[in-house]
Amino acid sequence: MKSFFKYASLLAAAVMLLSCEKDNNDQNGGTDTPGAGVFKLVADKDVIQSNGTDATTLTVYLDGVDVTAESVIYNDAKEVVTLNEGKFTASKDGEYKFWASYGTYTTFDKNQDDSGMITVKAISVAVPEVAEDPDSKKTSFVHRAFLTQYTGTGCGYCPYMIKIIRELMADNTIPGKAVLAAVHSYSNADPAYISAPRVNNYPYMHINLDKGFSHTQGSAPLYAEVNSIAASDAKAGISVNPVLYEDGTLVLKVSVKAAVDGEYRVGAWLLEDGIYGQQSDYDGVGDNSFNTHENCVRSIESRYDGEWAGKDLGAIKAGQTAEKTFVMDVKLTGAKAWKVENLHLAMIVSSKEGSRYVVCNAIDCPIDAPTPFEYK
C-alpha cells in the first residue's frame, strides 16, 4: 500500500489532473537543509517578561563545548551586547535578536532565516506554567497524523478535496486519528487567506509535512496512511497551556516529552472555524455547506531553517521533556476580527529523519484550557 501511495502521489503531481495551478516554489512544505551546525548561540528562554528582572541566559557552543566566555554576542544592529553572567533582561516589549562570534566562527548568515540570529521576545504579560502531567512515568502517547490541506475559495477543484476531508470527519477519523489544518493560500481574495505555506497546484495535502496526497487518488490511500500512523507508536507527545489576554496576546507554554531519544521540534498553528466564503466549484461537487470553512489557519509559529515542522528543541532523551513558549497576536477588533469562540490550536511535534524533520505527533486543543499529555 505504501508503494502504491507514493506512486499515485507522484503521478498526480506530474499530470496535475483536476488542479488549480499556482506559480510558487514550495511544493514540499520545506527544504532538505539540515538544522543548526556545530557552532551556535542558544537562549534557554525565547520569551521573557519585560519587567527588567525576568531573564534568559545566552550560551555559545562550539562542538557542544561552552565557549561563551571567549565569544562576543551582538544584536541585530551589530552592536556588542553586555550581559550579566550571560543573562539578558528587557524593560520594553519587543523582539530582540542576537548572534555570536568566536575567532573565525560566526552564527551570522544572511542566507538563513533571520540571518542566523536567535530571537528573544519580551512581553508585558505573564508566561503560564506547563500543563500538569497526569502520569510522569508514561511515554505511550495517543498518536495522530497531521494533515495540511492547501485550499482556497477561488479554487474550483478544491471541493474534491473538501469532500474527501468531510468523509474523514464523518467517521471521526478527523480529529480522532488526524489533526487538520486548512491553509487558504490560493488567493488573497479568500476571507481566510494566509500567505504561506503554498504549493504549486491546488488542492493538495501533506501528511505529517512529508508525504503528498492528491484528491485524484480517492480517499482509500489517505485512510490507509492515517490508520497506519495512528496504530504506530508515537515518538513524542505534546502538552500545552494557553492563556489569551485582553489585548489579544495569546501565550502558549508547550512541553514535549520524548518516548525515544531524538532531535525534536515543536510548532503551533492557530485555527478558526466557521469562516464564510463563497466556494468556487467547477463541477458542482459540493453544496451550500461548502461555503463555510473549518480549521482555517490564522497564524503559524512553526517556521525554522526553511521548514514548517516547528521550532528547534534540540535533543531529548526518552522520558525527558523540553519546553517552548509561543506568543501569537489574535485579531480581536476590526471588520476582519477573528471570533475567539471559534479559535483552537493544532500543535505539532516533529523528529529528525535523516536530513529533515517529519511530524511525529499532533493534537487539536482549545485556546482557553490546558491540554495535558494524552496517553493510550
**How much of the chain exceeds pLDDT 70, in percent?**
90
Q: Which CATH number fits domain 39-123: 2.60.40.1080, 3.40.718.10, 3.40.50.300, 1.10.3720.10?
A: 2.60.40.1080
Q: Any idea what the Cα angle at residue 149 is, between residues 145 and 151, rounded to 5°?
A: 175
| Cα–Cα distance list, 174 to 21, 152, 178, 230 (Å) | 27, 20, 5, 11
- Cross-strand partners of 239: 255
Residues 6 or more apart whose CB falls under 8 angstroms from that of 194 comprise 183, 184, 185, 296, 297, 298, 300
Q: Which residue in the block uniquely carries the three cell numbers 489576554? A: 245
Position 33 pLDDT exceeds 70: no
Please tell me if the domain spanning 2-30+135-366 has the same topology as the one spanning 39-123. yes
| Cα–Cα distance list, 355 to 116, 153, 195, 307 (Å) | 18, 35, 26, 11
Helix 219-231 with 2-15: angle, nearest 10 deg: 140
Position 52 pLDDT exceeds 80: yes
**CA–CA gap between residue 2 and residue 235 (Å, rounded):** 20
Q: Which tens digit of pLDDT belongs to each residue from 85-120?
A: 999 999 999 999 999 999 999 999 877 767 889 999
**CA–CA gap between residue 103 and residue 117 (Å, rounded):** 18
What's the confidence (pLDDT) of residue 32?
29
- The ranges assigned to domains in the chain are 2-30+135-366, 39-123
What's the confidence (pLDDT) of residue 36?
42
**CA–CA gap between residue 236 and residue 360 (Å, rounded):** 7
Q: Which tens digit of pLDDT belongs to each residue from 121-137?
A: 999 999 999 999 999 99
| Helix H or strand E encompassing 298 | strand 296-301
Q: Which CATH number fits domain 2-30+135-366: 3.40.190.10, 3.30.1490.20, 1.20.1050.10, 2.60.40.10?
A: 2.60.40.10
Q: Which tens digit of pLDDT belongs to each residue from 301-326?
A: 999 888 999 999 999 999 999 999 99
Position 28 pLDDT exceeds 80: no
Q: Which tens digit of pLDDT belongs to each residue from 202-232?
A: 999 999 999 999 999 999 999 999 999 999 9
Global pTM reads 0.88
Position 12 pLDDT exceeds 50: no
Helix 158-170 with 219-231: angle, nearest 10 deg: 40
**CA–CA gap between residue 248 and residue 46 (Å, rounded):** 20
Q: Which tens digit of pLDDT belongs to each residue from 240-291?
A: 999 999 999 999 999 999 999 999 999 999 999 999 999 999 999 999 999 9
C-alpha 288: how far from chain center? 31
What's the confidence (pLDDT) of residue 18?
61
| Helix H or strand E encompassing 162 | helix 158-170
What's the confidence (pLDDT) of residue 335?
86
Pairing of strands 211-213, 296-301: unpaired
Position 295 pLDDT exceeds 60: yes
- Cross-strand partners of 40: 61
Q: Which tens digit of pLDDT belongs to each residue from 188-198?
A: 999 999 999 99
Give the number of residues written for the chain: 376
**CA–CA gap between residue 45 and residue 327 (Å, rounded):** 13
What's the confidence (pLDDT) of residue 97?
97
> Average pLDDT of the chain?
91
| Helix H or strand E encompassing 170 | helix 158-170
